[in-house]
Amino acid sequence: MQQDDVVEPRVPVKDELKKRTVKGPDGFEFEVDPIHDYYCDARPEVRPGSYLKIVEDLFNWARSESLWILGFGTGCGAIEMRPLMTPRFDAYRYGIQWRPTPRQANLFVISGYLSVKTLKRVIRSYEQMQNPKYVVGLGSCTVNGGMYWDSYNTIKKLDEYLPVDVYVTGCMPRPEALLAGFEELKRIIRAGKGEGANLYAKNFDWYKANQKRVIHDWDMPDYNW
Amino acid sequence: MTRHETISNPETVLPATPIALAPERPAIDLSSGKYLKLWQGPQHPGITGNMSVELTVCGDEVVEGKTHVGYLHRGFEKLMERRSFIQCFPIVCRVCVPEPDFNEYCYAGAIEELAGIEAPIRAQWIRTLILEMGRINSYLMYLGGQAGALGLGVVGQWTTYVRDLMLDRFEELTGARIYHMFILPGGVRDGLPEGFDGRMEETLREIERTMADVDEVMFHNAVFKKRTKGVGVIPPELIDAYGVTGPNARAAGLPNDVRRDQPYLVYPQLSFEPVTATASDMFARSDVRRRDLLMSVDLIRQILADMPREGALMAKLPNVLHWKIPRGETYVRGECSRGEYGYYAVTDGSGFPRRINVRGPSYTHAMALLEHLIPGTNIADVAALMVSLHTYPPEIER
Amino acid sequence: MRTLLENLKERFPLGPITEQRPDLVFVTVERSGLRPLLAHLRDREGFTHLVLLTAVDWIEENLFQLTYLVHDRRRGRDIGLRVLVPRDAAEMETIHDLWPTAATYQRELREMFGIGFPGSPRVDEEFILEGWVDLPPYRRDFDTKAFAEEAFAHRPGRETHDPATHMRERLTAQGRAK
């Protein structure tokens, strides 16, 4: 990304993100610009599918059978994740499991309302996940704001900011509803329509513009992979 | 009745206790290469809910911890100012996710007090029942989390299973698993369904069986004991300085329990004694919660045995569409599983609350107290320490 | 509680007193009298901890009401101290040296109401909001609905009804006939 594309944030940059001179253990002094030195900020690319449809179908079948959820409870829906991990509802039998880091996960369950502050972390976590990746919006508040339709701090429409594959409505959705949502997501993936990551790459500028409209102190690179 | 003998002794005047502020530490020079900044959360398996702790570590030792909250802020207190009194009722339970009923009770209690309404006796019994059921749920979740933070994954599986059974009881009583919206200003929505007592008794027995297992696997486990005894001690002088309440204070030997000190609902008619411990470390806090859970089981049995089965469930409310409450202010508190939960409500004579302030116990526990306790621990202990204070971020930032 | 109030009246100038419940009293005090009164309550009367510190915006009177609620563990009683500060010069002295936990509350009030507490630790750091550019949101003149409509993208198709008119139309014979 070009240096001059960086939008000047409306809020002053935090101290730890300013350029500074650091002295290494060997006495050598060098300058660090955290935003540009600490991240890889190459733009995302659209990944074409396989040349052969049968191979792509095989891949999609495999993808749909191993949905690994990022363990990030962004909102109140996280409380129904715990029953899903335990024997009564047992999502593991569908190949669904929870992972502690974005690098190991390919499904992001946005569990409920997203405050602007969390949205920023969600974007970073989402961008760090490996392709192909999927997003499930959980709860009415991700669809249209739900209970918090007039709140000054929660976003109202998740698909403005991230490509959403499936919405599960309810406040709060039951574990069974979540399992049904995961089944729906599997059907979508098997049909070859789980193209969220490519959609994000294709409409990257649109998503970024939307994100920057609500996140006023944008102090990270545009794509921090 | 020992209640007033032990606590209300007007002759005792407390000595002037000096308040211990956090000790002055040498400034941390991050560029010296000795320190490292680590963020635990918001996306981290070792954090309760959605918040974060900014740790400065020196080797394995944590020298500073700063808490950051606000990831779950929805602005409830503002939203309530533009909703009528009855419109506030469905949103208040969303303030705290794992134990929503206290919000409903405190809100209903504050509004009833300001409007001069009294809930019928039978409704008060059902409210008490719901609050105790919620307390069990919350403790079960805590025990699973505490064990999980120290590597005992199986305890979480068991407690989540019995918590699900309790959620089933909630479902047949209120129609919902998590957000019940059952205690509304003036009373409760419905009575107990048929055969509820029997199924409740079965659930309680299952909980007791599981708790016996948990006791064996967790509280007699050498690893758990070694990692929790003597770790995360809250010094007694900090209890008042930081306004620590609930099990965290009871584990330090203070027999304070709002249910007994300022009884509300039907607690005066139930017999119980606050559970206390003395060590004030992580082990003592877990143990207090385990015994408190068993006390709640006992309380539910008492409630089901004594509660009236006939009678009104709702007081007469004015037309809720034009319900205006005269100017006034009040504070209503209850003892939830984490400590004192309170609503401070101000009305100004209009159809909307002037201001409602939610005082969650996690507010002090997870912020100032945690920041005070973190320095000196190991990185691996921070998660367990945080769980042991039993904090739920949604009620901190509302 | 009565004796406590009598004692306090002798020593401190107290404003209007509201006895809300036998164990809960609200007292209005002067801004300068707050600190000695809190210290007296803490050290001599056995009020152990600060339960909450919050503000109410009385925009019509151009005042912020700060409420300091302190609790006595032994006797199970509370006293709420109300302090009125002008809205346009909203500032109050900090009490974090009496109760360190007040620092957290003061940070929140600083951010949500814009009330200054000079000298309180970390009071100017961001607490809950991040990159906030509008009025402090808990002030009455901040309109959350207008802000949300302008700031966030909305999904079309959401209807809202004023409950009073909606119920009148749906539930009364007159309304249904229309």
Determine the 3-state secondary structure of C76 from DSSP.
coil
Residue B67 pLDDT class (50, 70, 90 cuts): confident
Indicate whether B13 pLDDT > 70.
no
**DSSP codes of every residue in B65-120:** EEEE--TT---HHHHHHTS-HHHHHHHHGGGSSSSTHHHHHHHHHHHHHHHT----
Residues of C whose CB is below 8 A from A119: none
How far is C46 from chain B, CA to nearest CA, in Å? 5
Max CA distance (Å), chain A: 60
Q: Which residues of C20-54 are buried (b: 16+ CB within 10 A; e: fewer)?
A: beebbbbbebeeebbeebbeebbbebbbbbbbbbb
| Domain topology for C2-127 | Beta Polymerase; domain 2 (3.30.460)
Query: Nearest chain B Cα to C58, which residue?
Result: B354
Q: Average the pLDDT over each of A28-32, A152-156, A208-212, C134-138 and give the range with the smallest value.
A: A28-32
> Does C67 contact B322 at a Cβ distance shorter than 8 Å?
no
C-beta atoms surrounding C86 within 10 Å: 12
Q: Which residues of chain C have pLDDT under 50?
A: none
Mean pLDDT, chain A, integer: 83
Task: Convert B297-321 to b/e letters by CB count within 10 Å (16 or more is b).
Answer: bbbbebbbeebeeeeeebeebeebb
Residues 6+ apart with CB under 8 A from B392: B48, B49, B96, B97, B98, B99, B338, B360, B362
State the Cα–Cα distance between residues B374 and A170, nearest whole angstrom.
38
Q: Does residue A59 sit within a domain? A: yes
Query: What pLDDT, on a 0 to 100 scale, did the predictor assign at position C177?
Result: 61
Interface of A with B in 54-93 (CB under 8 A): 70-76, 78-80, 82-83, 85-88
Under a CB-based contact definition with an 8 Å cutoff, are residues B345 and B330 in contact?
yes
End-to-end C-alpha distance for chain B, whole angstroms: 38
pLDDT of res. C96: 83
Q: Which chain B residues are closer than 8 Å to A154 by Cβ?
A: 74-75
Nearest CA in chain A to B80: A151
What residue in A sits closest to B43 (Cα-Cα)? A72
Exposed e or buried b for every residue in B39-49, given b needs 16+ CB within 10 A? ebbbbbebbbb
Chain C neighbours, 3+ Cβ pairs < 8 A: A, B
Structure tokens at C20: 């809300």
* CATH at residue B303: 1.10.645.10
pLDDT tens for each residue of A34-90 = 777 777 777 888 888 778 888 888 988 988 888 899 888 888 888 888 888 888 888
Summarize pLDDT for A155-189 with one digit per residue, the tens.
888 888 989 999 998 888 888 999 999 999 999 99
Contact yes or no for B170/B295 (Cβ under 8 A): no
pLDDT score, position B22: 52
Give the one of B31, B70, B161 whose C-beta lies nearest to A88's C-beta. B161
Check residue B6 and give its pLDDT. Answer: 35
Compare CB distances from C74 to B9, B331, B368 and report the shortest one's residue.
Answer: B9
Q: What number is the ipTM of this complex? A: 0.86
The per-residue pLDDT for C120 is: 81
B388 three-class SS: helix
Residue B270 and residue B302 in contact, taking contact as beta carbons nearer than 8 Å: yes
Give domain status of residue A157, yes or no: yes
Burial category of C5 from C-beta neighbours within 10 Å (exposed 0-12, middle 13-18, buried 19 and up): middle
The Cα B38–Cα C100 span in angstroms is 26
pLDDT of residue B361: 87
Whether B282 contacts B232, CB under 8 Å: yes
pLDDT digit string, tens, across residues B316-370: 888 877 888 888 889 998 888 888 899 999 998 888 888 899 988 888 888 888 8
Q: Do B331 and C69 touch (CB under 8 A)?
A: yes
How many structural domains is chain A composed of? 1
Shortest alpha-carbon distance between residue A86 and chain B (Å): 6
| Averaged pLDDT for residues B159-185 | 90
For residue B207, the model assigns a pLDDT of 92
Q: How far apart are CA B35 and CA B284, in angstroms?
A: 32
- Is the residue at A225 inside a domain? no
Mean pLDDT, chain B, integer? 84
- C18 at interface of B, judged by CB pairs closer than 8 A: yes
Q: What is the mean pLDDT of residues B248-252?
A: 89
Q: The CATH number of the domain where A98 resides is what?
A: 3.40.50.12280
| Contact (CB<8Å) A86/B156 | yes
Question: In this structure, is residue B56 part of a structural domain?
Answer: no
Answer whether residue B330 is part of any domain. Answer: yes
Q: Cα separations (Å) of C66 from A66, B189, C81, C129?
A: 54, 36, 8, 21
pLDDT confidence of residue B10: 36
| SS3 per residue for chain A | CCHHHCCCCCCCCCHHHCCEEEECCCCCEEEECHHHHCCCCCCCCCCCCCCCHHHHHHHHHHHHHCEEEECCCCCHHHHHHHHHHCCCCCHHHHCEEEECCHHHCCEEEEECCCEHHHHHHHHHHHHHCCCCCEEEEECHHHHHCHHHCCCCCECCCHHHCCCCCEEECCCCCCHHHHHHHHHHHHHHHHCCCCCHHHHHHHCHHHHHHHHHHHCCCCCCCCCCC
Neighbours of chain A (3+ CB pairs under 8 A): B, C
Furthest-apart CA atoms within chain B: distance in Å: 72
- Residue B95 φ/ψ, nearest 5 degrees: -65, -45
Distances (CA, A) of A109 to A72, A93, B141: 8, 18, 21
Find out whether B64 and B56 touch, Cβ atoms under 8 Å. yes
Residues 6 or more apart whose Cβ sits within 8 Å of residue A15: none
In chain A, which residues have their Cβ closer than 8 Å to the Cβ of C153?
155-157, 160, 210
- Is A47 part of any domain? no
Residue B324 placed within a domain: yes
Token representation of residue B28: 């941390």
Query: How many CB atoms lie under 10 A from the CB of residue C161?
Result: 10
Smallest Cβ–Cβ distance between B74 and the set A71, A115, A171 belongs to A115
Q: How far B247 CA sits from the closest chain C CA (Å)? A: 14
Phi, psi for residue B314 in degrees, rounded to 5: -130, 135
pLDDT of amino acid C170: 74
- Residue range B288-309: average pLDDT? 91
Max Cα separation, chain C? Answer: 69
Looking at the complex, report in whole angstroms how far the Cα of residue B259 sits from the nearest Cα belonging to chain C. Answer: 11
Are A148 and B49 in contact (CB < 8 Å)?
no
Q: Which two tokens stand for residue B301?
A: 């049995």
CA distance A32 to C63: 48
Task: Note whether C69 contacts B: Cβ–Cβ < 8 A.
Answer: yes
Joined tokens for residue C22: 């036998």
B327 and A CB contact within 8 Å = no
Quick check: A108 contacting B, CB < 8 Å? no
Residues of the domain holding A72 = 53-214
Inform me whether the C-beta atom of residue C11 falls under 8 Å from chain B C-beta atoms.
no
> Hey, is the C-beta of C63 within 8 angstroms of any chain B C-beta?
no
Torsional class of A177: left (φ above 0), alpha (ψ -120 to 50), beta (otherwise): alpha
**pLDDT above 50 for B378:** yes
H or E stretch covering B250: helix B247-250
Are residues B21 and C57, on separate chains, in Cβ contact within 8 Å?
no
Q: Could you say which of C145, C151, C155 has the minimum Cβ distance to residue A143?
A: C155
Q: Could you tell me if A150 lies within 8 Å of chain B, comparing CB atoms?
A: yes
In a domain, B270, yes or no: yes
Q: In what order do the strands lie in the sheet with A134-138?
A: A96-99, A67-70, A107-111, A134-138, A166-168
In a domain, A188, yes or no: yes
Instruction: Give the integer Cα–Cα distance in Å for B307 and B21.
Output: 47
Interface of C with A (CB under 8 A): 128-134, 137, 142, 144-145, 147-148, 151-155, 157-158, 160
Q: What are the chain B neighbours of A74 within 8 Å (beta carbons)?
A: 42, 50, 71
Q: How many residues does chain A have?
A: 225
Candidates C147, C155, C159: best to mutate against A (most CBs of A within 10 A) is: C155
pLDDT at B1 over 50: no
User: Cα separation of B246 and B335, whole Å?
Assistant: 7
Asked if B49's CB is within 8 angstroms of A78's CB, the reply is yes
* Residues of B with Cβ-Cβ distance to C76 under 8 angstroms: 7-8, 261-262
Contact B96, B397 (CB under 8 A): no
Q: What pLDDT is attached to residue A201?
A: 87
CA distance C77 to C75: 6
Phi, psi (rounded to 5 degrees) for B323: -85, 115
Share of chain C residues as helix, strand and coil, in percent rounded to the nearest 5: 30, 25, 45
What is the rounded CA–CA span in Å between residue A35 and residue A29? 19
Gap between the Cα atoms of B364 and B301, Å rounded: 33
The DSSP letter of residue B322 is G
Whether the CB of C172 is below 8 Å from some CB of chain B: the reply is no
A130, A161 Cβ separation under 8 angstroms: no
- Which one of A11, A144, A157 has the shortest CB-CB distance to C133? A11
Pairwise CB contact (< 8 Å): B44 & A115: no
Domain region containing B300: 3-29+76-140+151-367
- Candidates B82, B56, B33, B131; CA nearest to B353 is B82
Whether residue B157 and residue A86 make contact (CB cut-off 8 A), yes or no, is yes
Say if residue B297's pLDDT is above 90.
yes
Q: Is residue B308 part of a domain?
A: yes
Q: For B108-138, how does the pLDDT look when each residue is reduced to its tens digit (9 = 90+)?
A: 999 999 888 888 999 999 999 999 999 999 9
Closest C-alpha to A157, from C156, B306, B338: C156
CA distances to A83, A145, B158, B263 from B213, in Å: 19, 43, 9, 33
Q: Give the minimum alpha-carbon distance from B166 to chain C in angstroms, rounded to a whole number.
A: 32
